[in-house]
Amino acid sequence: MPELFTVVPPDEALKRLFSHIRPGVGTQNVKVNLALGRITAEDTFAPADLPAFSRSTMDGYAVKAADTYGASEAIPAYLKVVGEIPMGKPAGLTLRRGQVAKVHTGGMLAEGADAVVMVENTQVVDETTIEVVRPVAPGENVLHVGDDVKKGHLLLSARHLLRPQDIGGLMGLGITEIAVSSRPRVAILSTGDELVPPDGEVTPGKVRDINTYSLSALTLQAGAIPLSFGLVGDSYDELREAAVRGMEQADMLVISAGSSVSTRDLTAQVISSLGKPGVLVHGVSIRPGKPTILASVEGKPAIGLPGNPVSALVIFDLFVVPTIYRLAGCTTPPLRPSVEARLTHNLASVTGREDYVPVKLETNPEGLLAVPIFGESNLISTMMRADGMARVPLDKGGLSAGETVTVRLF
């Protein structure tokens, strides 16, 4: 039976959902070079020291620091060059007092050397003699064994989202394969008697399906696998049959449209019929996207989105994306890039509701400007023209032109 909304603030809605879902989508081993954006399944410990040998961090001369003490422009230290350390090979040299060896950045320190004098602080006197015009302390300009990473130390913890620097760091230690969470599979159902596929015939009254594709794209962007279940009419049996299949084949179900409370809106009813505890939230204090359904079916999330293409995108971004990370075991999803900008126009809202308004960003001498894209709300083209969504916080009755607003970038 259709019921009236009891709207819940967005934060609380997501918390309620998270308290009912069971993470865990299995794990797999992947090649590190293909692991960008994946989430580690276990702790990784350094199998070796990095660097594995003491290295110079400068172009210059490997020295005994004590030989440079007191050196200055006025009274330089005169030292004997006994050789040049080759790159990629053992130093093959042992320094005695008063001796130095030419070394390049990343080259091995000579035996007996404990510091490097950068080339800028030296003068060549002749083939085998240099002047050092500034002293170095022991260890200066040297990277010691294990300074970067110590053997046996925690390199990456489990549940960590792999970024480019992580890929590089793993490779630098010779780790070429890693256990990660499997990509969550998200079943996407679009419902509505009015929908036709993008390549279908648009007879009067019909519209092309947008949401299957925009939501699948967001799913991919969040590192998950979209499973499309095609278009489903506004029929309880048809929608339920597709939802059951979706739940079986995926780790999460997303139903686009039919999430409101009219008799034609079947999503809540269908989700409730799938299992316990069912619908947890029906109605979120947000615009666009108030008629949102968050549910859990035996620990699997099921989310009903408003059919409006803009609402569907906003709600998917705010609720489905964090749920995808949660399923994959990632406890700290990447922070969403956002910028602060100065509003060029007033934004209306009401206290107790969070609003998202598409904006275009412009730079002017005083900084970033957020120009709201007005006109008919809820049009896909407003999102296409926007750089991000300006947020009017829950506790604000609106924002005035000139105020600072946070813009979530796409």
Q: Which is nearer to ligand AMP, 301 or 309 (CB)?
A: 309
Q: Which of 60, 76, 192, 301 binds Mg ion (CB under 5 A)?
A: 192
- Single residue of 181, 211, 216, 292 touching ligand AMP by CB under 6 A: 211
Residue 238, binding choice from ligand AMP, Mg ion, none, Cβ under 5 to 8 Å by partner class: none
Q: Which amino acid type is present at position 256?
A: S
Q: How are beta strands 300-305 and 293-297 bridged, if at all?
A: antiparallel
Listed ranges 100-108, 177-185, 258-266, 358-366: which one lies at the site for ligand AMP (CB under 6 A): 258-266
Candidate list 186, 222, 257, 312; residue touching Mg ion; CB under 5 A:
257
What is the dihedral sign for C-alpha 103, 106, 112, 115? positive
Q: What's the closest the beta carbon of residue 251 comes to ligand AMP, in angstroms?
A: 22
Strand pairing report for 293-297 and 388-392: unpaired
Binding residue for ligand AMP (CB under 6 A) from 181, 182, 190, 216?
190
Asked if residue 289 binds ligand AMP (CB under 6 A), the reply is no
Alpha-carbon distance values, 320 to 72, 223, 293 (Å): 65, 12, 11
- Considering only residues 193-232, where is the footprint of Mg ion by CB under 5 A? none
Out of 23, 76, 107, 309, name the contact with ligand AMP by CB under 6 A: 309
Options 52-60, 187-195, 273-281, 341-349: segment touching Mg ion (CB under 5 A): 187-195
Query: Is residue 24 classed as helix, strand or coil in its secondary structure?
Result: coil
What is the residue-wise DSSP string for 117-135? EEGGGEEEEETTEEEE-S-
Among 56, 308, 323, 349, binds ligand AMP (CB under 6 A): 308
Site for Mg ion (CB under 5 A): how many residues?
3
Contacts 24+ apart (CB under 8 A), 366-371: 366/342, 367/341, 367/342, 368/339, 368/340, 368/341, 368/342, 369/341, 369/342, 369/343, 369/344, 370/341, 370/342, 370/343, 370/344, 370/405, 370/407, 371/344, 371/345
Q: Which is nearer to ligand AMP, 84 or 194 (CB)?
A: 194
Nearest alpha-carbon partner for 357 in 260, 298, 289: 289
Query: To the nearest whole angstrom, how small is the minimum distance from the Cβ of residue 376 to ligand AMP?
Result: 12
| Count, residues near ligand AMP per rule CB under 6 A | 18
Cβ 218 to Mg ion shortest distance, Å: 20
Q: Is 139 left (phi over 0), alpha (psi -120 to 50) or beta?
A: left
> Which span (47-55, 236-244, 300-308, 325-333) binds ligand AMP, by CB under 6 A?
300-308
Give Cα 38 distance to the centre of its chain.
Answer: 10
- What's the min distance (Å) between Cβ of 308 and ligand AMP? 4
Give the interface segment with ligand AMP, choosing from 166-174, 189-197, 316-324, 336-344 (CB under 6 A). 189-197
How many other β-carbons are positioned within 10 Å of the β-carbon of residue 117? Answer: 28
Enumerate residues 6+ apart whose C-beta is below 8 A from 401.
343, 344, 345, 346
CB of 215 to ligand AMP, least distance (A): 8
Question: Terminal CA-to-CA distance of the chain, rounded, Å?
Answer: 37
What does DSSP assign to residue 66? Answer: G
Q: Which stretch binds ligand AMP (CB under 6 A): 3-11, 147-155, 171-179, 301-309?
A: 301-309
Two structure tokens written together for 320:
């489905």
Q: Binders of ligand AMP among 148-167, rule CB under 6 A?
A: none
In the bound state with Mg ion, the residue whose beta carbon lies nearer, of 169 and 192, is 192
| Chain residues that interact with ligand AMP, rule: CB under 6 A | 190, 192, 194-195, 207, 209-212, 256-260, 306-309
| Chain residues that interact with Mg ion, rule: CB under 5 A | 192, 257-258
